[in-house]
Amino acid sequence: MPVPDRWQPEPPLWEQLAAKSKAMPQGDRLQKVLAARGWGSRRLCEELIAHGRVTVNGEVAVLGRRVDVEHELVAVDGVPIGVKPGLVYLLLNKPAGVVSTASDPEGRPTVVQLVPGEPRVYPVGRLDAATEGLLLLTNDGELANRLAHPSHGVEKEYLADVEGVVGPGELRRLREGVELDDGMTAPAKASQPSPGVLRITVHEGRNRQIRRMCEAVGHPVQRLVRVRIGPLRDAQLAPGQWRALTDAEVRALAEAAVERA
Q: Where are the alpha helices (DSSP H) in 159-199?
A: 168-176
Beta-strand runs (E) in the chain: 28-29, 54-56, 59-60, 66-67, 74-76, 79-81, 89-94, 122-123, 132-138, 156-162, 179-180, 183-184, 189-194, 197-202, 221-229, 242-244
Active-site residue (options: 5, 28, 104, 128) = 128
User: For residues 231 and 243, what is the distance between their CA atoms, to the nearest angstrom?
Assistant: 15
Catalytic-residue membership of 104: no
Ramachandran region of residue 82, left (φ > 0), alpha (ψ -120 to 50) or beta? beta
Closest C-alpha to 208, from 142, 130, 134: 130
Report whether the peptide linkage leading into residue 119 is cis, meaning its omega lies within 30 degrees of zero.
yes
Active site (catalytic) residues: 128
